[in-house]
Amino acid sequence: MKKLFLTVVAMLGATTLFAQTDMLATFQQAMGNAKTKNYVEAIEQFQSVIDAYYELEEPDQNQEKAFAGAKKYIVTCYHFLGGAAYNAKNYDEAAGYFAQAADQAELYDNVADMTKNRQFVGKCYEAKGAEAFNTGDYATAIEVFSKGYAADNRNTAMALNLAESYFKSDMYQEGMKICTEISSLNAEKFPEAIAEAQAKMDMYTNNEIAKLQQAKNYDGIIAMAEQLADAGMAQKLILQAYYYKKEFDKMIAMEAEALAAQTTDAGRSDVYYWIGVAYNEKIETAPNAEIVKNQAVSAFRKVTAGQNVANAKAAVQALTQPAQ
């Protein structure tokens, strides 16, 4: 046992000696390989420098510089390998290299390079997914775009294509989830993407409602709404479902909750419109029709944005014109 112990000590000593004597030379070799685009070998050598650094008890200034350089350039080498694969349209290989670059950057607290390389991972899957998307292979597009979206959820072009792929595959809830996430991005940075996401939500929601309405499945509309991540849209759908069911009191009772869920003037205006509609439907059967009519007018006058402005103005005019 004693001889074995001495052997281990000797080996550890040899490793430390290597770290002290060969670390700088290995770094220079790695830099040379990186300059000649021999990135694979350069990566191995930069990793050796990093490993050797951790064997040092008191690294000197040159060894500190070599260590810092190795951490930086190992990320660069993975990035350039990814770029070469991307240009050759080997998107899976490229994504793998960019992901390794991002992981290395994250390991060494290099946030800028980590973010940049994750964006490139997204671009790889965006390019690969586009091939399937453009041929109508939405199942493959979903699989590929989902990987890219996981890497970079701010690649809004890819995210919108992912949402569209879900919608085209009759996966309404999944498409709505992606569009809702896009809509929650910074409005100043992503105005066009947010507008397109909201347009998709409106269009495909109307399609779903039309199917359920045709089947007179109004409870199905409510169930669909309750699954949505967008609380504002969910409340508006439930208002409409109660309208189809002629449950006007339920519409009126949910006014405060529906308004609180809205994040835009258009959303709030839509709620006021449906509340106005509910009061309007109650006028003929109300004990005091004048009070209910005034409540309808008050709600309609609060419709100042969105697609129901003209209808609300027409309703106010009809309700307030003198009796003939």
Is residue 298, in this structure, part of any structural domain at all?
yes
Is residue 225, in this structure, part of any structural domain at all?
no
Look at residue 9 and tell me whether its pLDDT is greater than 50.
no
b/e 194-222 (16+ beta carbons within 10 angstroms → b) = bebbbebbeebbeebbeebbeeeebebbb
pLDDT digits (tens, 9 = 90+) for 167-187: 999 999 999 999 999 999 999
Instruction: Answer with the one of 152, 178, 210 that is the final residue of a domain.
Output: 152
Statement to judge: residues 28 and 137 lie in one domain: yes
Is residue 212, in this structure, part of any structural domain at all?
no
Statement to judge: residues 140 and 252 lie in one domain: no
Residue 323: per-residue pLDDT: 60
Is residue 162, in this structure, part of any structural domain at all?
no
CATH number at residue 120: 1.25.40
Statement to judge: residues 44 and 144 lie in one domain: yes
Is residue 293, in this structure, part of any structural domain at all?
yes
Statement to judge: residues 24 and 130 lie in one domain: yes
Is residue 182, in this structure, part of any structural domain at all?
no
The CB density around residue 116, as the number of other CB atoms within 10 Å, is 16
The CB density around residue 173, as the number of other CB atoms within 10 Å, is 12
Its domain, for residue 312, covers 243-324
Total number of domains constituting the chain: 2
Statement to judge: residues 21 and 139 lie in one domain: yes
Residue 143: per-residue pLDDT: 97
Is residue 230, in this structure, part of any structural domain at all?
no
Instruction: Answer with the one of 152, 186, 211 that is the final residue of a domain.
Output: 152
pLDDT digits (tens, 9 = 90+) for 285-312: 999 999 999 999 999 999 999 999 999 9
pLDDT digits (tens, 9 = 90+) for 233-253: 899 999 999 999 999 999 999
Residue 12: per-residue pLDDT: 40
Q: What percent of the chain has pLDDT over 90?
A: 86
Say if residues 234 and 256 touch (Cβ distance below 8 Å).
Answer: no
Phi, psi of 155 (to 5 degrees): -80, 85
Residue type, 281: E
Instruction: Answer with the one of 96, 118, 152 that is the final residue of a domain.
Output: 152
Is residue 226, in this structure, part of any structural domain at all?
no
User: Could you please report the per-residue DSSP string of 168-189?
Assistant: HTT-HHHHHHHHHHHHTS-TTT
> CA angle 263-265-270, nearest 5°?
95
